Chain A
């Protein structure tokens, strides 16, 4: 028993080293004087100022943030409906198709979704003359793959849910809609919130789907990063990586602290 646990904890330590060593090195080299990311040329913050003066990178980041906020909000609403339907509507025509539709985008290879959504938008353009490819099409695509993630989180929360509270509200004369707004929604709000955050992060990070549906004018942050790293390592990307890891760490610590305080 002890031997096995020791082996497992050794592997855990090894796993953490594996997960974090590359990230730590990338962050470390963002303070490198040299242009070469693999040769230490002394401490410098020059790549930090280069990145934050990089207009193209900044406007791409702004576009990505706007798309992420809009698509996460839409995905949270539709995903909430989908999760609620899956958890509460036991039987309706097409339920198994519905269940498959909700889960499939989660695991569907992104290149497949990318090409299929592009063909949809091209078809719509031929039939209706729009939408123009850019902000709108990227947002629609991101909503579509994010719905699943919100739905799963909401459905899981509703599965653990004490239904007697809802029944009590209904017995006291509340309509289903009022019951949902005053009892159910406040109780599952944390799940919807973390679903929103998940959708926001996924949208901010998506490259493949975006590249297919973006059209010629729009460039999101991952598209910029990709076209830069294809040519090799770039110290500005190290700076960006440092910022991203820091923001993610702060967000996680904050959310962990908030949930613990509530509990």
Chain B
């Protein structure tokens, strides 16, 4: 048993935990463009100060949080009825319905984001449709706006919302709802007082699975967003790859980690609890 624990413990310690100490060390250093790697070690809080005083970075933090929160809410509003319908479908249909939700997840993330590029372009299929149907004579391009990023996140992360919701809704005891109906509760009352509270663990897990990665998202703002919408994951990428400013990129990573430590801990507690309940 000792070896069974030691192997993953060591692996994750070396490849996951230890690197964060390095990131912190680099974040406290100074950018040195002429040396390889381009870092001069030191103890300077300059990068962190910059991140919280410069308007550009502040805007990026706020935009990331706003977009992540909005898209999480939209994903929940779309995903909840979907999970509910699958859980209420005939038992023999459920595997197929579930498979249809999971299938896009097994294809490529990058390709699913790409799929929207041709749709949202100025002369893309969506605008062609709007012109053809007469809804809008001269529709504005959607690609390159914040709307496109929101749409992309909802699209890419929808399966992550539906699956945990389905897992809790499927286990819901139908007898409880019948009892509520027998006692005269209206369907909406039964839903609000029974179904919704009992599916709360699924709601929390699904929202965290969308929100946490969405805050640091890079591919979607890069391919679907424009230059004026700054998200922090893209800022980190650009600082690192375009400006070769490793210390500043490291400082962003540390701040992102601190920002998300609460939601990540919440997600872990939720996971641990749901597994303990099963065993």
Contact = CB atoms under 8 A, between A and B. Distances in A.
* Listed residue (A11, A29, A94, A110) with the most chain B CB atoms within 10 angstroms of its CB: A11
A205 B104 CA distance: 12
B170 to A, nearest CB: 14
Interface stretch (A46-54, A167-175, A185-193, A242-250): A242-250
A232 B53 CA distance: 35
A211 B81 CA distance: 37
A101 interface: yes
B118 A37 contact: yes
A90 to B, nearest CB: 10
Contacts of A143: 11, 15
A19 B117 CA distance: 15
B141 interface: no
A229 B114 contact: yes
B201 interface: no
A77 B12 CA distance: 14
A38 B115 contact: no
Interface string A220-263: 00100110011011000100110011001101100010001000
A107 interface: yes
A87 to B, nearest CB: 7
B267 interface: yes
Nearest to B121: A38
A103 B88 contact: no
B275 A8 contact: no
A154 to B, nearest CB: 11
A12 B8 contact: no
Nearest to A100: B268
A251 B114 CA distance: 22
A1 B82 contact: no
B240 A104 contact: no
B131 to A, nearest CB: 12
B57 interface: no
Contacts of B109: 205, 207
B39 to A, nearest CB: 9
B118 A233 contact: yes
B218 A208 contact: yes
A152 B271 contact: yes
Nearest to A98: B9
A100 B266 CA distance: 11
A23 B100 CA distance: 13
Interface in B215-262: 215-219, 222-223, 233, 236-237, 240-241, 246, 249-250, 253, 256-257, 260
A229 B224 CA distance: 11
A263 to B, nearest CB: 10
A156 B219 contact: no
B106 A156 contact: no
B3 to A, nearest CB: 8
A5 to B, nearest CB: 6
A151 B5 CA distance: 12
A14 B16 CA distance: 40
A22 B111 CA distance: 10
A194 to B, nearest CB: 11
B118 A26 contact: yes
Given A85-B5, A156-B278, A8 B108 contact: no
Interface of A: 1, 3-5, 7-9, 11-12, 14-16, 18-20, 22-23, 25-26, 29, 37-39, 78-79, 81-82, 84-89, 92, 94, 98-105, 107-113, 115-117, 119-120, 122-123, 140-141, 143-144, 147, 151-152, 155-156, 158-160, 176, 201, 204-205, 207-208, 211-212, 222, 225-226, 229-230, 232-233, 237, 240-241, 244-245, 248-249, 251-252, 256, 260
19 contacts: A9-B85, A11-B81, A22-B119, A38-B123, A38-B125, A81-B8, A86-B275, A89-B4, A99-B268, A102-B8, A112-B216, A115-B236, A117-B15, A119-B26, A119-B246, A120-B15, A233-B118, A240-B111, A241-B107
Given A23-B115, A99-B268, A103-B268, 5 more contacts: A11-B85, A98-B9, A116-B253, A140-B15, A233-B117
Interface of B: 1, 3-5, 7-9, 11-20, 22-23, 26, 37, 78-79, 81-82, 84-86, 88, 95, 97, 99-104, 106-112, 114-119, 121, 123-125, 128, 155, 158, 162, 181, 187-188, 191, 208-209, 212-213, 215-219, 222-223, 233, 236-237, 240-241, 246, 249-250, 253, 256-257, 260, 263-265, 267-268, 271-272, 275, 278-279
